[in-house]
Amino acid sequence: MVIKDDKAGRKASAGSKKHADTNSQNETASKENLHTLIAKQTLEDIEKLSENLRFAAVTGSKIGSSIAGMTKDYFEKHPKMDPLGLAPYTAEVTSKIASKPEQILDAQQKLWNGYAEIWTDMVKNGFNDNPVEDKRFNSPEWQSNIMFDMLRRTYLHTSNWLLDLVNSVDDVDDLTKRKASFFTQQMANAFSPANFLLTNPVALKEMYLSQGESVVRGMTNMLSDFQRGNGQLSLSQTDLDAFQLGKNIAITPGKVVYRGKLFELIQYIPTTEKVYDIPLLIFPPWINKYYVLDLREDNSMIKWLVSKGFTVFVVSWVNPTAELAEYGFEEYVDHGIREAIDAVQSLVKTKKVNCVGYCIGGTLLATAAAYMAQTGDERINSVTFFASQQDFIESGDLKIFTDDAAYKFIADEIDYGGGVLDAKVMTDTFNYLRSNDLIWSFVINNYLMGKTPKPFDLLFWNSDQTRMPKALHLFYLDKFYRNNDFAEGRLSIHGKKLDLKNVKFPVYMQASKEDHIAPYRSIFRGAKLFGGEVRMILAGSGHIAGVVNHPDANKYQHWLPKQNGDFPDSVDDWFNSLNEHKGSWWNDWNVWLGAHSGKKVKARNPGDNGNKIICDAPGTYVLMK
């Protein structure tokens, strides 16, 4: 028996009690509203708060010095304040509004009527404690204080009014309106009261609860992000140290069985005794890394496909350097699509290959398929497209970055990068398309609240972007987004004009209902270009979650056509003819793909028939920064 010192025991007990009392006090304080919390501040609390705010100010001065020291060269190379040319479009829309006095008067009346309704309601009923749909303001703190409630409500009314005013202009072209609307939306999002410490009651409450430590942590987080971005803000969206490729992300067992200049080819180890005879070759977008299809075990599409008896190959694109600056679409057709098909055929001794193309990888695959049809190459048995466009007339929000000013900005950025577009440019572009979710929510969490981002596999992947070679990217922007040459029959590869009507093999097209990058209306236009059987389905959610939706998750829904092909003339007629089903669309695809994959044969392993194994999946190209 061990007898403890009574004095030590009493001391330990007192310490535990003090810790428990502190936790209890913090828990009680966290339930109080901001006004009550401020009123209870003691002199000691205020002194501690002041000391932490002083320290935060010192950190802020370091941020200023860091920015000044590291961005001088950047701003010398990027002197324009409006590199995307948004201002002229906004000015044109503003002038159109100003030219219609009756419209201005009507708009002003709506603005003031809205304010009057808010103020009248607040005088009669006090603050509004009803739940709000906008998640920026769903904390009770926004409704429990009448000042912040008024600030929230007037901001939402003003920003909605301004966007409605811009979108109501009907005598400008579509691009002008979209760019003006985008600029207005970004300004409205940026000036949300939730984004500033003094107008965010949740952040203020955290400041008082932590006696200013949240502000110190926030400034430290911001300094780290500026330093990581070499003078530009590189916003942390997740814990970048929480994931390791091949360990807890990109986890499906496989081998790199081929390596070319543009890609590594991964063959996955089968988990069934029998597999379909025709192998499946996946081409992800080269703008991202392939492992969005192989994140965790419970959401990996690749692992699921292997479990269904498919021999799965995936192209892992190289992260290009200046050495590949002059590699364009023709090179990616030859040394990407066609070379990968050659490799799969050689490895499994098959005459036919089923292919998948995701997003821009699907655009390249469709281009290659049209070229192969022109040359009599019939090795593709079927193609599945995920969120992939062939016709760009009704393409998504990225189109606002393809006019002359934006095109020149991107070309200049590529020259500045030595022949490749820096990955950060594309990351920032995609983030601004959903700025409240992908920018401002993290500004609030990381800097105002002083919290560390949580580990999130999808956001880790989202931050792991790749560079773009000059010839490839500019060709893509010009020929597809700007001029729609592919859909309109003007695109040539190796001197052969392409026409998707010559593509006769079966096609499965997936679109997502809320996709803002590849809208289903745009994908519908592309589906009508093919010359063979096409099955087009609609998934719930957006560009990523609409694709990566494991059936076991029981999330979202999907809509299926009554039969393949024979599309209605209009996308609205097609949409209205769909039948809704719960959960993931993968099971429907599995049935379709199985029907186009031949008989079952003995499972094939990497290295069979003396084939060379280069290394374990996920390979080396995916690790390139």
Angle at 561 between CA 309 and CA 546, to 5 degrees: 60
How far is the C-alpha of 332 from the C-alpha of 335, rounded, in Å?
A: 5
pLDDT band for position 109 (50/70/90)? very high
Has residue 23 got a pLDDT over 70?
no
In the chain, the amino acid numbered 599 is K
pLDDT band for position 81 (50/70/90)? low
List, as one string, the DSSP characters of 286-328: TTS-GGGGSSSTTT-HHHHHHHTT--EEEEEE----GGGTT--
Predicted pLDDT of residue 47: 79
According to CATH, the topology of domain 254-401+464-623 is: Rossmann fold (3.40.50)
Q: Which of 184, 193, 192, 134 is nearest to 163 (CA)?
A: 184
Kindly state the helix (H) or strand (E) to which residue 24 belongs, with its residue range: helix 6-30
Ordered by start, the domain boundaries in the chain are 46-213, 254-401+464-623
pLDDT, mean of residues 165-177: 87
Percent over 70 (pLDDT), the chain: 90
Predicted pLDDT of residue 131: 59
φ, ψ at 456 (rounded to 5°): -145, 115
Contacts 24+ apart (CB under 8 A), 573-582: 574/524, 574/536, 575/520, 575/538, 578/537, 578/538, 581/557, 582/554, 582/557
Concerning whether 615 is annotated as a catalytic residue, the answer is no
Range from 76-85, 296-305, 607-616 carrying the lowest mean pLDDT: 76-85
Has residue 80 got a pLDDT over 70?
no
Q: Which of 151, 166, 219, 359 is catalytic?
A: 359
Instruction: Give per-residue pLDDT as tens, 448-469.
Output: 999 999 999 999 999 898 999 9
Predicted pLDDT of residue 1: 29
